[in-house]
Amino acid sequence: MAASGSGGSRADNGYGSQQPRRRKGPGALATAYLVIYNVVMTAGWLVIAVGLVRAYLAKGSYHSLYYSIEKPLKFFQTGALLEILHCAFGIVPSSVVLTAFQVMSRVFLTWAVTHSVKEVQTEDSVLLFVVAWTITEIIRYSFYTFSLLNHLPYLIKWARYTLFIVLYPMGVSGELLTIYAALPFVRQSGLYSISLPNKYNFSFDYYTFLILVMISYIPIFPQLYFHMLHQRRKVLSHTEEHKKSE
Amino acid sequence: MGQYRQPIISTCHFVSYQVEILDWKTKKQLCFLDKVEPNATIREIRLMFHKLYPRWYPARQSIKLDPKGKSLRDEEILQHLPVGTTATLYFKDLGPQIGWTTVFLIEYTGPLFIYFLFYFRMPFVYGLDERFTSSPHPVVNLACICHSFHYIKRLIETVFVHRFSHGTMPLRNIVKNCLYYWGFAAWLAYYINHPLYTPPSYGKKQINSAVIMFLLCEAGNFSIHVALSDLRRNGSKIRKIPYPTKNPFTWLFFFVSCPNYTYEVGTWISFTIMTQCVPVGLFTLLCFIQMTIWAKDKHCTYLREFKDYPSLRMPIIPFLL
């Protein structure tokens, strides 16, 4: 249970690779809705990207850029929760559990760490994962959009299955450093912690929970990373052969 | 193997089959059985294969028609399978196996003893100052009695009541199951026996009604296990529809396919009410989810196998689920 909040940066997991085959599944209405959803999400993450660049140019420094994009980041990252529903209703053929796990880990980091522990918001590690997420999400959502429209440019496909090599470790380091930076403040304030005695006979130590979350990255990160590398080999080599034969 | 060969020689009109067994992954031929009797069962083929590969005893073997398909059952007969006179079967090693009785004994002994570590407040569980002290709340003693009773009952049933339809489970699963049962037992016991435990809000009334419900559910669960075991009394492996008997606890069979699970969930709900402890509630929820999955599975099997299956029955909760 402790591990449920972890999983780290969803640089990408390859579950969207089934997207083009989705055609037979949902009807026209669902497809239309998915296109709109993915376009909106792409736009949203583009807003965040532009916000970051503008704030950087205005300030001339990359410190504390978080405040300039706080609202859209929270909004669009929370909007990713809909992806769980898409899987649950079967209009996207991915595993509900896996998707929920990945989305929740990000939402957890956005709200339960960065939003809740004000002191970490000025850390550079926040910027590290925000940049990694932003680039990943722009590519991922546009990948879905183009796939749904059946016109997937090779560049987007290539980017989706290549950039994670750098972005994924980058996001994970940002996330881990941010949680680590939050630890002393959580311990000091007793944030989200419940202690005995209480009539529900239950206690919860958020500090310990965060440590467990960090530990859970150790088995999960390499697994996802190698899964993605494998996926990359499968998807990209396949298309190259396909192109040659054409 | 000789005993199977005998009839082929004496009755020449039989077409004998050739069976080759390949590894399901590498597709390498593991063995080639010449002259197999057409009415040989998969069980017999397993035994022949076992003779050639002593380390893969029959329960470890998964024999399939398709490398990625379902395992063939022991009773299936070679000539009834969709194969020519040269049958290609695929073998998959299921890993070391362990008998169900052993599995249950290990799984249930753990919680029984782990709970005591907390009940008696072993040193280092709640700190040295609290070691070997006891709780001032009588409900803590009652909870310990109920918890122990529950697992002792399960152990007794495992030895004297249950008849398992198929023998074994993979050794790997036992580690997983033990972590689940033992871990949760420790987690629950930690809170129930904690020096800072708060007794239930509605006092005696809450505790007493929970105990009554607990005992009724345990009696019900036991009755169902006895009824199910009676269905297989003469060692038969044929599946039958369980029906309500004279024992009123089994009348739940009118409404659900797996009343033993219904009662089991009931015991855990009453234990939650008795202790008023959130972790117990979480464990109850997980048990409920798991048992619903099993119950649905079994319900579907009943529906598939019996055309006259009572239509009123639901898998686990009457009229609902």
- What count of other Cβ atoms lies within 10 Å of the Cβ of residue A67? 10
Q: Tell me what the mean pLDDT of segment B104-108 comes to.
A: 90
Same domain, yes or no, for B66 and B103?
Answer: no
B194 close to A (CB below 8 A): yes
Q: B198 and A198 in contact by Cβ < 8 A? A: yes
Q: Which pLDDT band holds residue A121 (cuts at 50, 70, 90)?
A: very high
Residue A154, class by beta-carbon neighbours within 10 Å (0-12 exposed, 13-18 middle, 19+ buried)?
exposed
Q: In the predicted model, is pLDDT for residue B78 greater than 90?
A: no
- Under a CB-based contact definition with an 8 Å cutoff, are residues B240 and B231 in contact? yes
pLDDT at B2: 42
Distance from B87 to chain A by nearest Cα, in Å?
34
Q: B194 and A198 in contact by Cβ < 8 A? A: no
Q: Which pLDDT band holds residue B62 (cuts at 50, 70, 90)?
A: confident
Distance from B84 to chain A by nearest Cα, in Å?
36
Same domain, yes or no, for B179 and B125?
Answer: yes
CB contacts < 8 Å between A and B, how many? 30
Q: Tell me what the mean pLDDT of segment B33-51 comes to.
A: 86
Same domain, yes or no, for B299 and B288?
Answer: yes
pLDDT at A241: 54
Q: B201 and A196 in contact by Cβ < 8 A? A: no
- Under a CB-based contact definition with an 8 Å cutoff, are residues A164 and A136 in contact? yes
**Residue B32 domain boundaries:** 16-95
B81 close to A (CB below 8 A): no
Flag whether B38 is in a domain.
yes
Q: B196 and A199 in contact by Cβ < 8 A? A: no
Residues of B (236-265) whose Cβ lies below 8 Å from A:
none
Q: A203 and B277 in contact by Cβ < 8 A? A: no
Flag whether B314 is in a domain.
no
From chain B, the residues in CB contact with A208 under 8 A are none
Nearest CA in chain A to B195: A197
B279 close to A (CB below 8 A): yes
Question: Which of A201, A203, A208 would best serve as a mutation to test chain B binding (most B beta carbons within 10 A)?
Answer: A201
Token couple for B313: 């029955």
Q: A201 and B275 in contact by Cβ < 8 A? A: yes
Distance from A207 to chain B by nearest Cα, in Å?
18
Same domain, yes or no, for B115 and B63?
Answer: no
Q: Tell me what the mean pLDDT of segment A94-115 comes to.
A: 93
Coil, helix or strand at residue B36: strand
Backbone phi and psi for residue A44, each to the nearest 5 degrees, phi listed first: -60, -45
Same domain, yes or no, for B120 and B224?
Answer: yes
From chain B, the residues in CB contact with A199 under 8 A are 198, 201, 276
pLDDT at B294: 94
Lowest mean pLDDT of A235-244, B90-99, B171-180, B312-321, name the range. A235-244
From chain B, the residues in CB contact with A196 under 8 A are 191, 194, 196-198
Q: Tell me what the mean pLDDT of segment B49-60 comes to.
A: 86
Q: Which pLDDT band holds residue B249 (cuts at 50, 70, 90)?
A: very high
pLDDT at B72: 83
Same domain, yes or no, for B169 and B86?
Answer: no
Q: What is the CATH number of the domain that holds B38?
A: 3.10.20.90
Q: Which pLDDT band holds residue B157 (cuts at 50, 70, 90)?
A: very high
Q: Tell me what the mean pLDDT of segment A94-108 comes to.
A: 92
Q: Among B95, B124, B157, which residue terminates a domain?
A: B95
Token couple for B22: 């390949």
Q: Which pLDDT band holds residue B165 (cuts at 50, 70, 90)?
A: low
Flag whether B317 is in a domain.
no
Q: Tell me what the mean pLDDT of segment B279-295 comes to.
A: 96
Q: Which pLDDT band holds residue B235 (cuts at 50, 70, 90)?
A: low
From chain B, the residues in CB contact with A4 under 8 A are none
Whole-model pTM: value is 0.76
- What count of other Cβ atoms lies within 10 Å of the Cβ of residue B175? 10
Q: In the predicted model, is pLDDT for residue B8 greater than 70?
A: no
Same domain, yes or no, for B138 and B285?
Answer: yes
pLDDT at A11: 38
From chain A, the residues in CB contact with B191 under 8 A are 196, 201-203
Task: Return the closest-CA partner of residue B276 out of A204, A202, A197, A200.
Answer: A200
Q: Which pLDDT band holds residue A19 (cuts at 50, 70, 90)?
A: very low
Question: Where would I find the H helices in A23-152?
Answer: 28-59, 66-79, 81-89, 96-107, 124-148
Same domain, yes or no, for B228 and B81?
Answer: no
B196 close to A (CB below 8 A): yes
Q: In the predicted model, is pLDDT for residue A22 greater than 70?
A: no
pLDDT at A9: 38
pLDDT at B82: 84
* β pairing state of B86-93 and B97-99: unpaired
pLDDT at B281: 96
Q: In the predicted model, is pLDDT for residue A132 greater than 90?
A: yes
Residues of A assigned a catalytic role: 168, 175
Q: Tell me what the mean pLDDT of segment B56-71 comes to.
A: 84
Q: In the predicted model, is pLDDT for residue A73 greater than 60?
A: yes
Same domain, yes or no, for B216 and B241?
Answer: yes
Flag whether B321 is in a domain.
no
- Under a CB-based contact definition with an 8 Å cutoff, are residues B320 and B314 in contact? yes
Q: Which pLDDT band holds residue B5 (cuts at 50, 70, 90)?
A: very low
Same domain, yes or no, for B144 and B75?
Answer: no
B201 close to A (CB below 8 A): yes
CA dist A178 and A170 (Å) reads 12
Flag whether B4 is in a domain.
no
Token couple for A161: 């299955």
pLDDT at A57: 95
Q: Among B46, B63, B95, which residue terminates a domain?
A: B95
Q: B198 and A201 in contact by Cβ < 8 A? A: yes
Q: Tell me what the mean pLDDT of segment A150-154 comes to.
A: 92
From chain A, the residues in CB contact with B130 under 8 A are none
Same domain, yes or no, for B131 and B169?
Answer: yes
B289 close to A (CB below 8 A): no
pLDDT at B38: 83
Backbone phi and psi for residue B53, each to the nearest 5 degrees, phi listed first: -125, 85
**Residue A38 domain boundaries:** 2-245
pLDDT at A25: 58
Distance from B252 to chain A by nearest Cα, in Å?
32
Q: Which pLDDT band holds residue B193 (cuts at 50, 70, 90)?
A: very high
Q: In the predicted model, is pLDDT for residue B103 greater than 60?
A: yes
Same domain, yes or no, for B49 and B150?
Answer: no
Query: What is the number of structural domains in chain A?
Result: 1
The mean of the pLDDT values for chain A is: 87
Q: B278 and A199 in contact by Cβ < 8 A? A: no
Token couple for B155: 């152990």
Rg over alpha carbons for chain A, rounded to the nearest Å, is: 19
pLDDT at B39: 84
Q: A200 and B278 in contact by Cβ < 8 A? A: yes
Please give the full DSSP string across A157-211, using - where no structure is assigned.
Answer: HHHHTTTHHHHHHHHHHHHHHHHHHHHHHHHHHTTT-B-S--TT---B-HHHHHH
Q: In the predicted model, is pLDDT for residue B196 greater than 70?
A: yes
Q: Which pLDDT band holds residue B17 (cuts at 50, 70, 90)?
A: confident
Q: Tell me what the mean pLDDT of segment B212-239 comes to.
A: 89
More confident residue, A226 or B167: A226
Flag whether B239 is in a domain.
yes
Q: In the predicted model, is pLDDT for residue A15 greater than 50?
A: no
CA dist B296 and B291 (Å) reads 8
Please give the full DSSP string across B123-161, using - where no structure is assigned.
Answer: TTTS-GGGTT---S-HHHHHHHHHHHHHHHHHHHHHHHT
The mean of the pLDDT values for chain B is: 88
Q: Which pLDDT band holds residue B85 (cuts at 50, 70, 90)?
A: confident
pLDDT at A149: 93
Flag whether B10 is in a domain.
no
Distance from A218 to chain B by nearest Cα, in Å?
20
Q: A200 and B275 in contact by Cβ < 8 A? A: no
Nearest CA in chain B to A200: B277
CA dist A195 and A71 (Å) reads 33
Tell me the pLDDT tens digit for each residue of A29-60: 999 999 999 999 999 999 999 999 999 999 98
- The answer, yes or no, to whether the previous bond of A197 is cis (omega within 30 of 0) is yes
Query: What is the number of structural domains in chain B?
Result: 2
Q: In the predicted model, is pLDDT for residue A6 greater than 60?
A: no
Question: Which of B118, B135, B196 would best serve as a mutation to test chain A binding (most A beta carbons within 10 A)?
Answer: B196
Flag whether B88 is in a domain.
yes
